[in-house]
Structure 1
Amino acid sequence: MSERVHESNLDSLVGALRAETDAEVRFDPGSRGAYSTDGSNYRQVPLGVVVPRTVEAGAHAVQVCARFDVPVLSRGGGTSLAGQTTNAAVVIDWSKYCHALVSVDPAARTCVVEPGIVLDELDRRLADHRLKFGPKPSTHSHCALGGMIGNNSCGASAQAYGKTVDNVRRLEVLTYDGLRMWVGPTSKAERARIAAEGGRRAEVYDGLDRIVDEYLADIRRGYPKIPRRVSGYNLDSLLPENGLDVARALVGSEGTLVTVLHAELDLVPVPPYESLLVLGYDDICRAADDVPHLLEHCSPGQLEALDGRMAQLMREEHAYLDSLDALPEGDSWLLVQFIGDSRDDVDGQAHALLKAIGRSEKDASVAFSDDPRREQKMLKAREAGLGVTARPPDDRETWEGWEDSAVPPERLGDYLRDLKRLFEEFDYNHPSLYGHFGQGCVHTRIPFGMRTAQGVADFRRFLERAADLVASYGGSLSGEHGDGQARGELLTRMFGERLVAAFGEFKALFDPGNRMNPGKVVDPRPVDGQLRLGPAWRPAAEETHFGYPEDDHSFTQAVLRCVGIGNCRSHQGGVMCPSYRVTKEEEHSTRGRSRLLFEMLGGHADSTVTDGWRSTEVRDALDLCLACKGCKSDCPTGVDMATYKAEFLAHHYERRLRPAAHYSMGWLPLWSQLATHVPALANSALHAPLLGRAGKRLAGVDEARQAPVFAGRSFVRWWRARGDERPDPADPSTVVLWPDTFSNFFHPSVAMSAVRVLEDAGFRVAVPTRPVCCGLTWISTGQLDVAKRVLRRTFDVLRPYLDAGTPVVGLEPSCTAVFRADAPELLPDDQDAGRLAGQMRTFAEQLVRHAPEGWRPPELGRSATVQTHCHQHAVMKSDADHELMRRAHLDADVLDEGCCGLAGNFGFERGHHEVSLAVGELGVLPAVRAAAPDALLLADGFSCRTQIDQGGTGRHALHLAEALALGLEGPLPGERPERLADRPERPSRTARWATTALAATAAAAGGREAVRRLRRP
């Protein structure tokens, strides 16, 4: 807490903010913990958080804070890497509500925005005008324009469009003492008018004149003439030759001078055509040497670089392999993108460059593409740098601190060689070097030892040496990420004492009381102070249920995977984080939850979470986690919040009464086993108006949810009735079909159809007839001791198949994912868990990769809209499914609309129904409604099918196995049988089960007419 804020004052401040501002005011421990750090090495617990509903409310909140003399910190996406957005201040989060595109002037190519608008969202809203904002940092899916202005963000596209400062026309700003004004370039006439009006505004402009007059020569000489200077205040924008541009002088000031309320931005046309040339080199220094030569012969839209170390990390992490496959030979690469008005234009630019440098498109070290999809694959490898290098598989931790230095491009190669020698001197081996080489900006993450006194001392000493090195090259401490706390203390090494003194006067002019984000840039806190870890960090050592094999068997290490990149705050595409996309709450993002788990570890004296596993703050933040596992794959550092949630719930409710839903839905496999003896009675009870409502209340189920219907006969009962002889587990054609709870008791047609298709492919199917379960529902509700017992009983039932190495085929993605991922982590020393993980296959994997040669799936010849289950997306992936659909002649539109929102028990639990449906309405449910009436609707997950069925779509989805089984049935009456004539002979079987499976599937698909539509040539 700020030394100038006492508890009584703080209470009064909270009361005033709540009474006087239209904002969400949060001074609770959970909110403060979630905002205690950003993407940097630093941590400071804020006084509280204010989330204004309007820009006016945000401005008024600043005024209230000024009345109580408390510091203020504006925050957008919170991804700052130098500590700009962590402070013991009142945090104003603009991102939830203040994200309007206020106006667009297509003719002038300008727009006005509120500070919370996300860059990708802005570009989407400008798409109809074929315009966009030029700078595009790698965080474009979730960074806010206010944050970009605060940091002077750049990105790869700055090669063509410049930094944010070069694209800001005017700003509406508010000073701490209440001056509100629009600022921009100031003509002599405007300057005279301001002086004549007098008052605080005239005082500011008089001060600016005085600073320029006093430091004119220093400003002209002291700023390096390079394209990527982001360090320091932009006093050069105040020079007479630059039009006394106050807006551009404030860009990059990191919230230390003013609060930005609106911004008028310059826009650029969206280039109609792009091409990409990739050049391979022996090492990254030689690639850097070639940059000036390339720039002599072309003016690229981007000139990016990545080195062999990053490629190695991608291979070790099995990430972005498609991107690597698209790269040419070499151990380092330059990626040169061209933009133009025609394909001939961009192709011609690339070929002209090749000719100028004596290379050919046919060279093994050259790759060329004018295919946007292929280009994006190659560029993804570079854009993924921060996530890939953040947590290398060799168990080292890498950190920010010297991650964006910049030098003149013509001196880049020599700078990299000296930087590498400095790495060797400090024994910081193998940091990856990559970045925006066309502008001399170098990205890296270094394995600083941030947990010991010696490691932190070396960290400080390295930064001082590196700052001197980059200054000797006429470079900048920061070429993109700003100064904050990471580099503020080092600015005198770059600018000298006089210019840093000028920065102090500039700060005092706008913020004389040092209340705007204090301790950054001016009078900065030390680079080794307020560290997120540090030698004084003492987290509690906890015994856990999961093994965390990729995190040194440590829950603490697992939580530290989150480095604050913020991809979980994206609004479209991928899976994570569905609850954040609905609530726009930091606590409901993967990052926010990770922050609270970090606070729960109690490593700092001022930790906001003080009751460990019993924490209500952590429980509340995790309550809306859907356990979709989207973060396991979509988070660049592999955070697995579903596992962390299960771990937390296990400890939180240990020897305590649990929520009713944990007993009802958590024990669903047992209740389903009992209900299968009297399914009609169970269904009547669940759906009777009075009894059903009472049962839902008792079970902790939301009354708005319809209970799923138990099948009249379970799949296992149907299987037993077949009376087939059990196949030999050692027979290479034998496969075990896993009878998961959902396919067994609710949708048996899925499993019956799978039997049909697997047997058609020549496999002999075995099905366990004794009760088995993956333990999913117990895992998701944190009943991990029960889950372990369930799994061990399952292993006993599967013993003959585990011993023989028989493949086990899963139909329900969530259950398959348990065996592939959760079970080995929950039972890390159990050999059976490891064996089953290796033997577990998806339905599509078995058919695509292991079916007898010559077998072909039925040719369905239909379009299909496909929803991929989140657990499949995260754990098994869908490559085999896509290939199976291709072979079945399905024209598949695989949705990229995120989670369906039901997510197992989540969408059924009381209090979750609104969020569950809101998640579905973000993409999946509208896409289903928009699907062509004659298109198949495929969803392998029981949750996805249930949400589609109950989500007001008027559609019913099939499992892929059901669709293929329909295609295998004989022709309907009156249809021609020719298309089956060349099919291999199928094993004989009774007609009874085939008729049953077809009838059940047809009912799910919407009746016999749906079958006819599917089968119609």
Structure 2
Amino acid sequence: MTEHIRGATLDALAAALRAEADAEVRFDAGSRGAYATDGSNYRQVPLGVVVPRSVEAAAHTVEICARFDAPVLSRGGGTSLAGQSTNTAVVIDWTKYCDHLVAVDPEARTCVVEPGIVLDELNRRLADHRLQFGPKPSTHSHCALGGMIGNNSCGASAQAYGKTADNVRRLEVMTYDGLRMWVGPTGRAERARIAAEGGRRAEIYDGLDRIAGTYLADIRRGYPKIPRRVSGYNLDSLLPENGFDVARTLVGSEGTLVTVLHAELGLVPVPPCQSLLVLGYADICRAADDVPHLLEHCAPAQLEALDGRMAQLMREEHAYLDSLAALPEGDSWLLTQFSGDSQEDVDEQAHALLQAIGRAERDPSVAFSDQPSREQKMLRAREAGLGVTARPPDDRETWEGWEDSAVPPERLGDYLRDLKRLFDEFDYDDPSLYGHFGQGCVHTRIPFGLRTAQGVADFRRFVERAADLVASYGGSLSGEHGDGQARGELLTRMFGRRLVTAFGELKSLFDPDDRMNPGKVVDPNPVDSRLRLGADWRPADPETRFGYPDDDHSFTRAVLRCVGIGNCRSRRGGVMCPSYRATREEEHSTRGRARLLFEMLDGHPDSAVTDGWHSTEVRDALDLCLACKGCKSDCPTGVDMATYKAEFLSHHYAGRLRPAAHYSLGWLPLWAQLASHVPWLANDVLDAPGLGRAGRWLAGVEPDRTAPLFAERSFVRWWQENGGQRPDPADPATVLLWPDTFSNHFHPSVAISAARLLEDAGFRVAVPDAPLCCGLTWISTGQLATAQRALHRTTRALRPYLDAGTPVIGLEPSCTAVFRSDAPELLPGDEDVRRLAKQTRTFAEQLVEHAPATWRPPRLARQATVQIHCHQHAVMKFDADRELMRRAGLDADVLDEGCCGLAGNFGFERGHHDVSLAIGELGVLPAVRAAAPSALVLADGFSCRTQIEQGGAGRRALHLAEALALGLAGNLPAEQPERLAARPEPPSAGARWATAAGTAVLLATAGPLAVRTLRRRSP
């Protein structure tokens, strides 16, 4: 199919695209690898990737590809579950630039959009008009409208608003041979006018007329009369009673017929009020049996279901527990949402349904809410289905392939029983069943054995049997995810050969040479071919530094956590993925990086990445990973790209010269310890004109960054000079305050404040005497052997406290997260490390959960803008901090603006400055600027405080311990104070030059001593 697009021809195509298209053109291995898979079981390495800067550039890209006879694939969010977003073709990614809301007509309730606009972003831009696009898939934070049109997407709200096809008014489309036209409902008079004009457009409309006429009876008989028929082309939209709607015919064609350039969409009002009624059942089949009875008595906005198996997985994964707690008694649930113009209206709808079915709100199997926050909490449990079921804790791999079948709602219960029997026949143990039950659509993920020949053969036999089963119920192979490759081969089992022949004629009419997303829907690749894994998949399973205890101690299994859901491509809320939010590049998303790591494992003959750990493509993709760990918590399957990055860097630079920043920033704990002897000298050198900037450049540090100054006196030194106690580790009141590098050498007021608060709460504070380190900076730069030595040295020094069970109190979130998460994975067999992980607590956890009941924190009675450190968000969470702030009387605005952008060494490394600040400007920095002058700005992370102070926010940020200590002293001023260890006045230029000269002499004479010191203090 694409054999002729190789070698010189492919080079010529790439050259033509670069010369003629206003687009980013990428035919490199890294870009191709990042787009090799979507959210499905399938994998095809593209010819290249084009990111057009405008719709016109995209149209011109198709024209250039046509000159070279190259296949084309339009791609939106890349979350497709049936394989329609992966192909050996030129991939056009619309989402970076072609995301405009072109026009809005509030009176007509319509808008015109470009294909790359994300659904949530569209609805945000429509919010002032109180309008929205009705269909809302669970991927609404990152799915593009072009992809929704390609798949005929639905989501839970389709119960009220229908499928995407029902909400598209007109489309501007382009055929592979260059015809551009707007299409929509077309009456006979209009078709006659088109015919009279002649040309390619007339040829297409004549062909549509012929197909509709020839297959009229087949279409009327052969299309299931159910709300969720998404499989097949929408030939029923060409029926006279449906207005000969060409736009709706093309919706759901998965890029196999035309390229969509613009879409005119119908909009619906945002409902002013909503309520949610949740009903519990003994099992999912009984819940399904009740669906038609509910629909007899109400017309809900949503009617969703989840089963006990999904709830079990949530409990095992310790995920969405607050959502489960809001559900009533039962082992399966129906969630029925009502919308209306008043609260009385929506409440009455729910109570009327309860009365009709003989239940009451007080029943233990009933939960009712008209509070939006509680409703969202309960609905989150259902929306989380794909992520929760994708990687069960029992180490099974579950896959799509039969994940969205649909049947008439009145037959749903019986269908589920037969489907369960089919699972049992194939020994597919207990897959979760959930979905849009109000429209008969069932979601599931099944533990297909896609790594062996027998497993693949069983997979094929199962989907064939399942297709026959759903057809026997008058249902659809797909209820919202489309056909692609997963179901294209099965369409004859649903529609019969005659209608599938009609699909082929439609394909030939629009795309006679089969260049639009070939191998999908019509003349499809076999369902068991081009698998992401498959029987011939032979990946490397390399030795690693980290233990990957949750992935069977396998880096390969860890990489496979990414199943392509794409939450890392969201624009707002949560933490991940900050670099994607700044660059909008697939390879800078968690998913894109995971794809490249998968390719690096070299399991397929055509792997895009061929040089393993030495891959420059993987290195470049990981370069802008902030190692924020946001994906560890925000990714539905728990991908931990920060750990994967550290692992990769460890192997990539093994025995090789590293970037300068790895020696400067990676060894910061050592340099800070050395600088503590002459902090004034180190600061003057860093600030010296010319010399400081040149030194930063040589050290791989961004010259435009201001180096944080070393404190004149470290916390440990202050503690020793002020009679710091040495309490008995066995004393239950003893706590060990961990003097991390940042609180010790840069912001000692944080540790001083924490010590005062802990003592005020009745604890006896111990502080290590020896210079110790958690290894954070070595971990983040991939110097894992050194990090292991640092951790061993630390645990040896702390052994008396570890043996006694003494709590270790962390102040810097990133260092605390190392003890709680990274260290046990880096040294999985070390009992001291396991104890350290269990005994480590945050400052807030210690005061909220372990302080005497009689102790109360100082009352601050102030507003506060609070930035959560990413590692705290990912590992320790923030509940204790919220509670401590509440007890202190702080009116805390806890930001949900993502990463600050500095992220440890990332923002200081040369080449990252612009991205670092761009990330900060996406949310955190503007939010701090908007804070009232009297409000406190709180950020426990050293990186967050530094970014706020250096990023143009115009504010100094405090650690929560500093704020509470000021309240403890009773001297909290009206406006936020400077840090206790304020930045000293810079010396004069002459003094700086003198310092620089003295430093040069010092280094020349004391070099051997410095080297010996480095070796002695090296972990």
Structure 1 position 3, deviation (Å): 1.6
Contact 1:956 1:1005 in 2 (8 A): no
Tell me what 2:980 maps to. 1001
Structure 1 position 973, deviation (Å): 12
Q: Calculate the TM-score normalised by the size of structure 1.
A: 0.96
Structure 1 position 394, deviation (Å): 0.3
- Distance in 1, Cα, partners of 2:324 & 2:857: 32
| Letter aligned with residue 140 of structure 2 | H
- Distance in 2, Cα, partners of 1:362 & 1:1005: 65
Q: Secondary structure at the match of 1:405?
A: strand
Tell me what 2:1003 maps to. none
Structure 1 position 1002, deviation (Å): 8.1
The root-mean-square deviation of aligned C-alpha atoms, in Å, is 1.3
| Letter aligned with residue 901 of structure 2 | G
Structure 1 position 187, deviation (Å): 1.2
Tell me what 1:995 maps to. none
Tell me what 2:668 maps to. 668
Structure 1 position 697, deviation (Å): 1.2
Structure 1 position 972, deviation (Å): 8.4
- 1:685-724, aligned counterparts within 5 Å? 685-724=685-724
Q: Secondary structure at the match of 1:864?
A: strand
| Letter aligned with residue 88 of structure 1 | T
- Distance in 1, Cα, partners of 2:347 & 2:532: 48
Tell me what 1:230 maps to. 230
Structure 1 position 853, deviation (Å): 1.8
- Distance in 1, Cα, partners of 2:590 & 2:339: 36
- 1:508-519, aligned counterparts within 5 Å? 508-519=508-519
- 1:634-645, aligned counterparts within 5 Å? 634-645=634-645
Tell me what 2:119 maps to. 119
| Number of aligned positions between the proteins | 984
- How far does the alpha carbon of each residue in 1:743-768 deviate from its partner, in whole angstroms, 9 at most, with x for none? 00000000000001000000000000
- 1:866-881, aligned counterparts within 5 Å? 866-881=866-881
- 1:68-83, aligned counterparts within 5 Å? 68-83=68-83
**1:1000–1:53: structure 2 CA closer, same or farther, 3 Å change rule?**
closer
| Letter aligned with residue 342 of structure 2 | S
Contact 2:71 2:90 in 1 (8 A): yes
**1:654–1:259: structure 2 CA closer, same or farther, 3 Å change rule?**
same
Q: Secondary structure at the match of 2:538?
A: coil
Structure 1 position 2, deviation (Å): 1.7
Tell me what 2:22 maps to. 22
Structure 1 position 6, deviation (Å): 2.7
Q: Secondary structure at the match of 1:181?
A: strand
Identity %: 83
Tell me what 1:776 maps to. 776
**1:1003–1:531: structure 2 CA closer, same or farther, 3 Å change rule?**
same
| Letter aligned with residue 272 of structure 1 | P
Structure 1 position 8, deviation (Å): 1.2
Tell me what 1:423 maps to. 423
Tell me what 1:482 maps to. 482
| Letter aligned with residue 625 of structure 2 | C
- Distance in 2, Cα, partners of 1:275 & 1:972: 44
- Distance in 1, Cα, partners of 2:546 & 2:345: 56
Tell me what 1:39 maps to. 39
- Distance in 2, Cα, partners of 1:103 & 1:972: 51
Structure 1 position 724, deviation (Å): 3.4
Tell me what 1:92 maps to. 92
Contact 1:957 1:1004 in 2 (8 A): no
- 1:298-337, aligned counterparts within 5 Å? 298-337=298-337
The yes-or-no answer on 1:791 pairing with 2:791 is yes
| Letter aligned with residue 1001 of structure 1 | L
Structure 1 position 594, deviation (Å): 0.1
The yes-or-no answer on 1:273 pairing with 2:252 is no
Tell me what 2:767 maps to. 767
Tell me what 2:12 maps to. 12
Q: Secondary structure at the match of 2:117?
A: coil
Q: Calculate the TM-score normalised by the size of structure 2.
A: 0.96
- Distance in 1, Cα, partners of 2:623 & 2:947: 19
Contact 1:568 1:589 in 2 (8 A): yes
Contact 1:433 1:444 in 2 (8 A): yes
The yes-or-no answer on 1:861 pairing with 2:861 is yes
**1:656–1:473: structure 2 CA closer, same or farther, 3 Å change rule?**
same
The yes-or-no answer on 1:154 pairing with 2:171 is no
Contact 1:212 1:238 in 2 (8 A): yes
- Distance in 1, Cα, partners of 2:201 & 2:194: 7
- Distance in 1, Cα, partners of 2:683 & 2:706: 11
Q: Which runs of 5+ in 2 are unaligned?
A: 986-1019
Structure 1 position 430, deviation (Å): 1.0
The yes-or-no answer on 1:343 pairing with 2:350 is no
- Distance in 1, Cα, partners of 2:424 & 2:540: 34
- 1:570-969, aligned counterparts within 5 Å? 570-969=570-969
- 1:443-522, aligned counterparts within 5 Å? 443-522=443-522
Structure 1 position 1000, deviation (Å): 5.1
**1:860–1:521: structure 2 CA closer, same or farther, 3 Å change rule?**
same
Q: Secondary structure at the match of 1:798?
A: helix
- Distance in 1, Cα, partners of 2:784 & 2:868: 27
Q: Secondary structure at the match of 2:517?
A: coil
**1:999–1:64: structure 2 CA closer, same or farther, 3 Å change rule?**
closer
The yes-or-no answer on 1:186 pairing with 2:165 is no
- Distance in 2, Cα, partners of 1:915 & 1:862: 33
- Distance in 2, Cα, partners of 1:246 & 1:743: 65
**1:888–1:1005: structure 2 CA closer, same or farther, 3 Å change rule?**
farther
- Distance in 1, Cα, partners of 2:433 & 2:214: 40
| Letter aligned with residue 582 of structure 1 | A
Tell me what 1:557 maps to. 557
- 1:270-419, aligned counterparts within 5 Å? 270-419=270-419
Contact 1:956 1:1004 in 2 (8 A): no
- Distance in 2, Cα, partners of 1:972 & 1:164: 56
- Distance in 2, Cα, partners of 1:200 & 1:443: 41
- How far does the alpha carbon of each residue in 1:523-547 deviate from its partner, in whole angstroms, 9 at most, with x for none? 0000000000001000012000000
- Distance in 2, Cα, partners of 1:296 & 1:732: 63
| Letter aligned with residue 755 of structure 2 | V
Structure 1 position 999, deviation (Å): 8.7
- Distance in 1, Cα, partners of 2:723 & 2:237: 85
Q: Secondary structure at the match of 2:81?
A: coil
Tell me what 2:539 maps to. 539
Contact 2:153 2:481 in 1 (8 A): yes
- How far does the alpha carbon of each residue in 1:590-632 deviate from its partner, in whole angstroms, 9 at most, with x for none? 0000000000000000001000000000000000000000000
Structure 1 position 5, deviation (Å): 1.3
Structure 1 position 576, deviation (Å): 0.2
- How far does the alpha carbon of each residue in 1:93-129 deviate from its partner, in whole angstroms, 9 at most, with x for none? 0000000000000000000000000000000000000
Contact 2:725 2:765 in 1 (8 A): no
- Distance in 1, Cα, partners of 2:453 & 2:212: 43
| Letter aligned with residue 966 of structure 2 | L
Tell me what 2:257 maps to. 257
Tell me what 1:1011 maps to. none
| Letter aligned with residue 678 of structure 1 | V
- How far does the alpha carbon of each residue in 1:170-224 deviate from its partner, in whole angstroms, 9 at most, with x for none? 0000000011000000011111110000000000000001101110000000000
- Distance in 2, Cα, partners of 1:781 & 1:310: 38
Structure 1 position 698, deviation (Å): 1.2
Contact 1:958 1:1004 in 2 (8 A): no
- Distance in 2, Cα, partners of 1:626 & 1:421: 47
| Letter aligned with residue 805 of structure 1 | G
Tell me what 2:990 maps to. none
Structure 1 position 722, deviation (Å): 1.8
- Distance in 2, Cα, partners of 1:305 & 1:1005: 62
Q: Secondary structure at the match of 1:735?
A: strand
- Distance in 2, Cα, partners of 1:191 & 1:971: 81
Structure 1 position 7, deviation (Å): 1.1
| Letter aligned with residue 672 of structure 1 | A
- Distance in 2, Cα, partners of 1:541 & 1:39: 23
Contact 1:168 1:263 in 2 (8 A): yes
| Letter aligned with residue 624 of structure 1 | L
Contact 1:958 1:1005 in 2 (8 A): no
Tell me what 1:1015 maps to. none
